[in-house]
Amino acid sequence: MRGLSKAAPSRTALFTGGAVAALAATVGLVLAGCNSASDGVRKEGQAQRDTVTRESKPSATPTMEASPVKVDAVALVKSDPKVNADLKRNLKPCVKNEYPVDVSYGKLTGASTTDVVVNVMTCGDGFGIGSYVYRKSGQDYENVFLAEQAPVYIDIEKSELRVTQQVYDSGDALCCPSGEDVIHYRWSDERFIETGRTHTDFNKTVEDDDADDDELPSDDGTEG
Residue 196 pLDDT more than 80?
A: yes
Compute the average pLDDT of residues 158-176: 89
Compute the average pLDDT of residues 117-138: 94
Alpha carbon distances (Å) from 188 to 45, 68, 117: 10, 22, 18
What's the confidence (pLDDT) of residue 134? 98
What's the confidence (pLDDT) of residue 23? 47
Between these two residues, 224 and 118, which has the higher pLDDT value? 118
Residue 51 pLDDT more than 80?
A: no
pLDDT in tens, 58-110: 444 444 455 788 999 999 999 999 999 999 999 999 998 899 999 999 999 99
Residue 48 pLDDT more than 60?
A: no
Residue 222 pLDDT more than 60?
A: no
Best CA proximity match to 78, nearest among 93, 68, 67:
93
Instruction: Give, for 87, the enclosing helix (H) or strand (E).
Output: helix 85-90
Residue 179 pLDDT more than 80?
A: yes
Residue 160 pLDDT more than 60?
A: yes
When the pLDDT of each residue in the chain is averaged and rounded to a whole number, the result is 75
pTM score above 0.75 = no
SS3 65: coil
What's the confidence (pLDDT) of residue 168? 86
Q: Using alpha carbons only, what angle is made at residue 161 by residues 87 and 120, rounded to the nearest 5 degrees?
A: 20
